[in-house]
Structure 1
Amino acid sequence: QEQEQEQEQEQEQEQEQEQEQAQGQEQDQEKEEAADGRTSSSSRKRLRVKGRGKSGQTSVGCTIVGNDVRYVPASLAPVLKLREARFNEMLGHVGCRLGIQSRLLLVTEPLGMPAEARRDRLSSIFEQTKVSHVLVGPDVLFAAARSGKLPGDADYPNLIVSLSTSAACIVPLDGAGRPVWSATYTVPWGAASMADHLARTVSEAAHPSVRHFITETLARFLLRTEASVATSEAAYGDVVAARSSDDGRVVLQLPYEEPPVVTPEEAAAEEERAAERRAAARARMAAMREAARVKNHETAVADLARVVADWTATATLRATKAKTRAPLAPQLRRLADRAARTSSPDDPKPPSFFLPAQVAAELDEWEAEAEAAAADEDWSLLEVPEAELDEEAKKEAARLRAKRAIAAAAAASAEARRARAARAAEEEAAIR
């Protein structure tokens, strides 16, 4: 047992020594990496953190594989308009994977430039970079988005650099060669300087391989930009003629598709079909509006019948007749107006059509009485603060407030009735 304990103690001491040596080596390595401008070990650990994208879904965690990993040098950060700390943070946020492959696929959109300038650009790309393929054509990203895979060899690169006249597009590819559209980035520089600067940066980077990289905005930007570019077979021919095949690298050309030719007869038939579709849409909208009008009219008539029944029931309550009819009078006027507005356009009806004759006469009489009573009433008591009134005065003030509310409702109803009568007279005069 003593021997076993001694052996365990020796093993623990050896493990502690190994850990101290490993820590010392790691510190030395961090110093060397800091001197070389590479990502430190602490930054590597941060890359393992999973993040959340805009949609709320957890992104893929970073994968670190032993000593085979080549980290992105600090010289690449200013090219992407990011500081090194921000660059590493974004890599960890989107679950970026770093690898040792250096195959790049450069996509050029040469339209809108002279043929000589396009040839110079391709020559510069082949001379200053280690790209394996150049894919030509403004519709290449559209084709990749439709098919889910880029055309070409089975040995796909892991990064696309798309050079257009306004910006450079960096699109990563997954292991199957499919573009990761949600992880694109743009470098908005001028065409010539952008191509040279990007080519020089790619050459300086030993192993520039970044996957699942950065934002969603570039895909929308690029597709929106390329949608306005016209294609022509001659432009494709100029670019293909500029390729360099002496070193084994090739230029892939997408097949050019001519737009379909439309004859005048086909155009006329299409216009007729469009007119029929528009007429059908107008008919559907008219039917929907008519159904809504009928429904609103039925609802207004039903509500008016209910209020008329309540109005008639108050005739037996002589003592409280004025008080109970006060809230019903404006409802009768409003519902009668609604029923008139929603009546059939072919046979419009006035508001009085929907009110029984007796109810209409009683309503007019009630409004006239309420207005007359309000004109003869002394409202000065309501101007006195309630704290200065005795009990009898408070009761009288409450009676006056109720009466003034009734008078206000009656006045509003009578004013609306007079306005409707004036409009009807104007319409009749205009018709005459």
Structure 2
Amino acid sequence: MIEKKDVALERAVLIGIITKDQDEEKSKEYLDELEFLTFTAGGYAVKRFTQKMEMPNSKTFIGTGKMEDVREYIEANNISTAIFDDELSAAQERNISKILNVKVLDRTNLILDIFAQRAQTSYARTQVELAQCEYLLPRLRGMWTHLERQKGGIGMRGPGETEIETDRRIVRDKIALLKSRIKTIDKQMAVQRGNRGKMVRVALVGYTNVGKSTLMNVISKSDVFAENKLFATLDTTVRKVVIQNLPFLLSDTVGFIRKLPTQLVDSFKSTLDEVREADLLLHVVDISHPNFEEHIASVEKILGEIESNNKPTIMVFNKIDAYQQEPIDADDLATERTEKHYSLEEWKSTWMSKVGNNALFISALNKKNLEEFKKRVYDEVREIHVTRFPYNHFLYPDYEEED
């Protein structure tokens, strides 16, 4: 559980379900992530509710008995927000709000709210506003009936505040305007990318909060914002990096997450273009996270959706300083030894051994194994560059370790 450090944080309850496709362990993991999202947005998860179901209730997501338990707890404990782990339909959100009489959010709304907080440039704010408007449009009817009593906070930033009293026509017009604005900016950014010349482009990709920005700061000697919260980086940052005497462009992109709202994937097209147009991907993984393999699968799924899964890729397993092997009692013969009991060396001998030279183990925070990392990146970038400019091969000799 995340420690409560600020009494001003919104008090929230989290609600998820256990199904045949999402067992109890996976449900707990998703709720852990939802709690971190809630904390990032400015809330504090007071309690969790879960229910075993074959499928979500079409009217209220969870059953009537469990919903009554939630309602009673909310009334007795001064709870202001109920957050559901899956996207709610407009009808579900409307029905639940009438029962609970508090602000009701789903995972998508929560992520959109965090993006609204994190957006720094006008372009990022336009992208987020478009995603929020597209999310808002089918929910206008329900919002008319229950959002008039909500006074800001999580889920109410950005267009949620300004568009709440508008009708569908006005929101559609706003969506058309935002799409037109983004299309214009996309063309400008495409020209900017074209003006970068033929320099090799390297993109940092990975799940959110895996240390991409920290790694960016270390190897580019820049000062990109990094924080132990989800989606600390939203705007793509591009830096010219020189390793030895070899220059290349390095971009730090927005982190991915499971159940990433479709609206964000669509509206952040230009941000993802940095990944599409990269010559080399550095897939950063937080190996200290107990479910890092699922994070890898989620990132690879999104890379496939944007047709970038076949690019040259180096797997960078970060945070080795934080990795903890779960101990096993030698006298407890009933405990089955699983992946959570593996040491780092044992992990390296699993499927990671097949990745071979394309798997690196580092700590960006403690600068551990960074020399090996820089050498591997240098070699890969050099190969791409020499292929592009064969007559320049003599300019870039083999990598020499720094003193």
Normalised to the residue count of structure 1, the TM-score between the two structures is 0.19
Report the structure, 1 or 2, having the larger strand content: 2
* Greater C-alpha Rg: 1
Normalised to the residue count of structure 2, the TM-score between the two structures is 0.20
